[in-house]
């Protein structure tokens, strides 16, 4: 399509003014806004993926490593491990005492119910929390602390720290502490590592981690009694396995998240009542350590000694962690840590709202995209069968001469090929070349060819709509064909194009635009787009009687119809879409002649392609907005407004704007969820597109070899088109203005020979 005219400009524009025009073509603030939005989206999705602990599919790597470097006193000791002066020390739970510990929370459903049970039975619990869950459900943690329960760190992403770098260990703990500070205003000195419930789980790989944590002031909490509720073995077995033997004290493990905890909820109140009936009391980790400390010999007590605040415990400035177990595990977060934690929770809240919202939009877009493909295939097939019936006819054959209008502005590279192709027409025509103030000798070249029935009309530079209107006024015949100055026709193109005018209801006909310079990669990509995206679409719109655009490269009109709607409008940058909608609203039928082919020169560079498609997209939005009242009109205008306009808005604006979500979420799923499944899903969508493209190529009798470029087109070219459309939406939303721009032409699309297409 040749939307390559420019608005009137002063002939003697200074270089500085030209540079200003170029700078205004791509407004920097909009680019910055777009980049910031893209950066924000990427950041939000990365945060969401990290929160869900799905990076790399973390799991315990080894389970049979040697523990030769771990002291026997630790392996055989009590469940509470701390370090004093670099020496490991363990403590056990006093007899007839139960420390209820819960892993993997908080969960908005199961943890809340566990807290209800603890409240009803007036017993405390110690919850080892996953930082990502804390940041997602801070209200649950706040209630947990307010109810007098104790909390500990269970890492941020539930990763096995034994096989992580020192930086990762510090980060996992520090991030969890920030989440706790933001949720409840506290930090903690308690820690439990994932995949390490009992002391004998410590091996040579994890032992350095525990030593480092001890030096930071943390108490690592293990268990000596496991309910194994995660296996969901049944309520009776959970209670049995959680019961210590011979009246001994126990650190007991339950889970309040990480799966279905219905059996845990049923077993927990029965277990508490059972243990109380046996004379047991319930306490927290700190409470158990206090009791143990009181029972130890006086010489084992350490009074007044202090250790540095944990390095992974932000917010403990001004507070020191004492080795005295009477000191509670919770610390009040300092101001800086408190606000950092709240900022983290705020970012998580944004991610929690944004990603599911985008996923919902993705589902709608996916359905719309697949629905569009299905609709195009069904209606294109029906259109093909209808138009190729032997008895099909538009009416009496159209044999009278027609006027071909060629608007031209600086088309010296292409004008000769264009006019020579028209001179070979098998249908009687007059050729009206409207030179729109060219400065490169276009008019002189047209006259020097000496072709019959060619008139050259010169006018001051006024833009393409003005040139077309001038040509329509001076046309001698009732049917006018409009084309671009860089386009060539096949000999029978005009004859095929005008036959639908045998039907008196037809006011305009869209032809089949083909990419002539398809030998390059960009040209091949555009060729696929023209065949599949444009021409397959036009078959669908033709059958629905709501054709939105007659391409500027090849279209035919009743002269009276064009004049009746006021001619080609300068109100929008997409004068072809504007006139098409205007004809619909005036009651004329607009149809598609797929066998009338024109060969046009597509932009040869990404920069030119961007400028062209940016103008097309923005101009289409302008035309739709201009004719928005057709939605409420009656008659033919209302039909287009309620059928055609919603389809154009949905398929050409809304769906493409959000279609990048498909690729974004594919990458997201490959990184954070399941690489293989995500890749297969993306390939399935690509296969659907390949089927549609293959069928479109079959209908247009094109060579299938170009479809080999489809995967790369989907990865690279399609993303560029999405960005162009998004840029156009930003321009429309901010009220920006866009000037006409002249695309550089090479003239490489030659005159087609009969039945052979383009040379």
- 218-241 pLDDT, tens per residue? 999 999 999 999 999 999 999 999
pLDDT at 47 over 80: no
pLDDT of residue 267: 96
Instruction: Taking residues 750-754, report their average pLDDT.
Output: 50
Instruction: Taking residues 605-634, report their average pLDDT.
Output: 87
Annotated catalytic residue, options 104, 107, 160, 255: 255
pLDDT of residue 127: 97
pLDDT of residue 6: 38
pLDDT of residue 326: 38
At residue 296 the predicted structure's pLDDT band, cuts being 50, 70 and 90, is low
150-153 and 97-105 beta bridge pairing: unpaired
- Region of poorest pLDDT, from 1-15, 199-213, 593-607, 743-757: 1-15
Query: What SS3 state is found at 272?
Result: helix
Q: What percent of the chain has pLDDT over 90?
A: 46
- Region of poorest pLDDT, from 11-20, 35-44, 522-531: 11-20
Return the bridge partners of 97, or none.
281
pLDDT of residue 295: 62
Contact 134, 157 (CB under 8 A): no
* More confident position, 609 or 338: 338
Length of the chain counted residue by residue? 759
Backbone angles phi, psi at 315, to 5 degrees: 95, 5
Return the bridge partners of 153, or none.
129, 191
* More confident position, 257 or 166: 257
pLDDT of residue 361: 80
- The pLDDT tens digits for 324-365 are 333 489 999 999 999 999 999 998 888 888 878 877 887 888
At residue 300 the predicted structure's pLDDT band, cuts being 50, 70 and 90, is very low
Q: What's the mean per-residue pLDDT of the chain?
A: 83
pLDDT of residue 482: 96
Residue position matching structure tokens 């566990």: 114
pLDDT at 616 over 90: no
Instruction: Give the Å distances, CA to CA, from 288 to 91, 127, 283, 459.
Output: 9, 15, 6, 97
Q: Which of 120, 272, 251 is nearest to 190 (CA)?
A: 251
Instruction: Give the Å distances, CA to CA, from 680 to 57, 371, 677, 723.
Output: 18, 20, 5, 25
- The pLDDT tens digits for 540-580 are 899 899 999 999 999 999 999 999 999 998 888 889 999 99
Return the bridge partners of 32, or none.
none
Annotated catalytic residue, options 48, 103, 107, 542: 103
Token output for 392: 């099909």
126-129 and 97-105 beta bridge pairing: parallel
- The pLDDT tens digits for 69-105 are 999 999 999 999 999 888 999 999 999 999 999 999 9
Q: Exposed e or buried b for every residue in 606-628, given b needs 16+ CB within 10 A?
A: eebbbbbbbbbbbbbbbbbebbe
Q: Which of 640, 661, 651 is nearest to 582 (CA)?
A: 640
Handedness of CA 604, 607, 612, 617 (dihedral sign): positive
Instruction: Taking residues 302-309, report their average pLDDT.
Output: 43
Contact 86, 71 (CB under 8 A): no
- The pLDDT tens digits for 664-707 are 778 877 877 778 888 888 888 888 888 888 888 988 888 888 88
103 assigned to active site: yes
Contacts of 450 (CB under 8 A, 6+ apart): none
At residue 160 the predicted structure's pLDDT band, cuts being 50, 70 and 90, is confident
- The pLDDT tens digits for 363-388 are 888 888 888 888 888 888 888 888 77
pLDDT of residue 676: 85
pLDDT of residue 125: 96
- The pLDDT tens digits for 440-483 are 999 999 999 989 899 999 999 998 999 999 999 999 999 999 99
| Terminal-residue alpha carbon distance, the chain | 20
Handedness of CA 190, 194, 197, 201 (dihedral sign): negative
Instruction: Taking residues 412-429, report their average pLDDT.
Output: 93
255 assigned to active site: yes
Contacts of 699 (CB under 8 A, 6+ apart): 380, 384, 535, 536, 539, 594
Contacts of 53 (CB under 8 A, 6+ apart): 130, 132, 156, 157, 158, 159
Instruction: Give the Å distances, CA to CA, from 516 to 5, 203, 598, 654.
Output: 21, 69, 9, 30
pLDDT at 291 over 90: no
- The pLDDT tens digits for 103-152 are 999 999 999 999 999 999 999 999 999 999 999 999 999 999 999 999 99
């Amino acid at each position: 399509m040749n939307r390559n005219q420019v608005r009137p400009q002063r002939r003697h524009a200074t270089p500085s003014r030209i540079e200003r025009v170029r700078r205004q073509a791509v407004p920097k603030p909009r680019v910055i806004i777009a980049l910031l939005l893209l950066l924000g989206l990427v950041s939000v999705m990365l945060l969401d993926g990290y929160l869900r602990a799905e990076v790399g599919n973390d799991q315990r790597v080894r389970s049979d490593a040697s523990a030769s470097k771990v002291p026997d006193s630790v392996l055989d000791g009590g469940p509470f491990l701390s370090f004093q002066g670099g020496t490991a020390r363990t403590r056990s739970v006093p007899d007839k005492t139960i420390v209820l510990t819960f892993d993997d929370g908080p969960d908005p459903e199961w943890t809340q119910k566990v807290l209800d049970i603890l409240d009803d039975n007036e017993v405390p619990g110690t919850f080892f929390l996953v930082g990502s869950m804390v940041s997602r459900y801070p209200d649950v943690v706040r209630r947990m602390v307010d109810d007098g329960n104790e909390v500990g760190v269970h890492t941020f992403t539930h990763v096995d720290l034994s096989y992580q770098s020192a930086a990762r260990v510090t980060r996992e703990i520090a991030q969890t502490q920030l989440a706790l500070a933001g949720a409840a205003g506290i930090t903690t000195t308690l820690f439990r590592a994932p995949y390490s419930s009992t002391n004998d789980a410590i091996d040579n790989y994890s032992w350095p981690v525990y030593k480092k944590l001890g030096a930071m002031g943390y108490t690592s909490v293990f268990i000596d009694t496991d309910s194994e509720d995660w296996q969901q073995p049944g309520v009776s077995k959970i209670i049995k396995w959680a019961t210590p033997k011979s009246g001994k004290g126990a650190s007991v493990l339950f889970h309040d998240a990480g799966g279905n905890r219905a059996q845990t909820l049923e077993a927990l109140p029965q277990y508490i009542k059972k243990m109380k009936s046996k004379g047991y009391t319930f306490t927290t980790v700190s409470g158990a350590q206090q009791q143990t400390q009181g029972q130890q010999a006086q010489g084992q007590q350490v009074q007044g000694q202090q250790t540095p605040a944990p390095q992974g415990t932000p917010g403990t400035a001004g507070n020191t962690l004492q080795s005295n177990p009477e000191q509670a595990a919770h610390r009040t977060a300092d101001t800086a840590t408190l606000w950092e934690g709240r900022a983290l929770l705020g970012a998580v809240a944004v991610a929690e709202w944004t990603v599911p919202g985008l996923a919902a939009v993705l589902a709608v877009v996916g359905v719309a995209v697949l629905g569009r493909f299905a609709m195009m295939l069904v209606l294109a097939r029906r259109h093909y069968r209808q138009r190729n019936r032997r008895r099909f006819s538009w009416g009496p054959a159209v044999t009278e001469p027609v006027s071909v209008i060629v608007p031209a502005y600086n088309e010296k590279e292409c004008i000769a090929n264009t006019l020579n192709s028209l001179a070979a027409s098998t249908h009687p025509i007059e050729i009206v070349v409207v030179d729109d103030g060219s400065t490169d000798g276009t008019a002189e070249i047209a006259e020097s060819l000496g072709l019959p029935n060619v008139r050259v009309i010169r006018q001051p530079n006024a833009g393409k709509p003005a040139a077309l209107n001038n040509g329509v006024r001076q046309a001698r015949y009732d049917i006018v064909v409009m084309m671009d100055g860089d386009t060539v026709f096949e000999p029978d193109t005009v004859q095929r194009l005008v036959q639908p005018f045998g039907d008196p209801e037809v006011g305009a006909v869209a032809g089949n635009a083909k990419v002539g310079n398809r030998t390059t990669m960009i040209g091949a990509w555009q060729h696929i787009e023209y065949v599949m995206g444009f021409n397959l679409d036009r078959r669908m719109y033709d059958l629905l009687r709501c054709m939105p655009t007659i391409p500027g490269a090849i279209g035919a009109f009743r002269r009276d119809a064009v004049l009746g709607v006021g001619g080609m409008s300068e109100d929008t940058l997409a004068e072809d879409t504007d006139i098409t909608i205007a004809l619909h609203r005036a009651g004329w039928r607009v149809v598609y002649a797929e066998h009338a082919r024109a060969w046009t020169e597509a932009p040869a560079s990404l920069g030119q392609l961007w400028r062209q498609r940016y103008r097309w997209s923005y101009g289409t939005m302008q035309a739709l907005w201009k004719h928005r009242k057709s939605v409420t009109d009656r008659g033919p205008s209302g039909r287009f407004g309620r059928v055609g306009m919603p389809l154009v808005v949905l398929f050409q604006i809304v769906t493409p704007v959000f279609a990048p979500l498909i690729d974004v979420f594919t990458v997201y799923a490959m990184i954070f969820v399941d690489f293989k499944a995500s890749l297969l899903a993306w390939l399935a969508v690509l296969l659907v597109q390949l089927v549609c493209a293959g069928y479109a190529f079959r209908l247009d009798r094109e060579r299938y070899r170009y479809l080999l470029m489809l995967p790369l087109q989907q990865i690279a070219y399609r993303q560029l088109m999405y960005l162009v459309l998004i840029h156009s939406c930003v321009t429309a939303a901010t009220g920006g203005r866009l000037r006409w721009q002249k695309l550089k032409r090479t003239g490489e699309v030659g005159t087609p020979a009969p039945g052979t297409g383009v040379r």
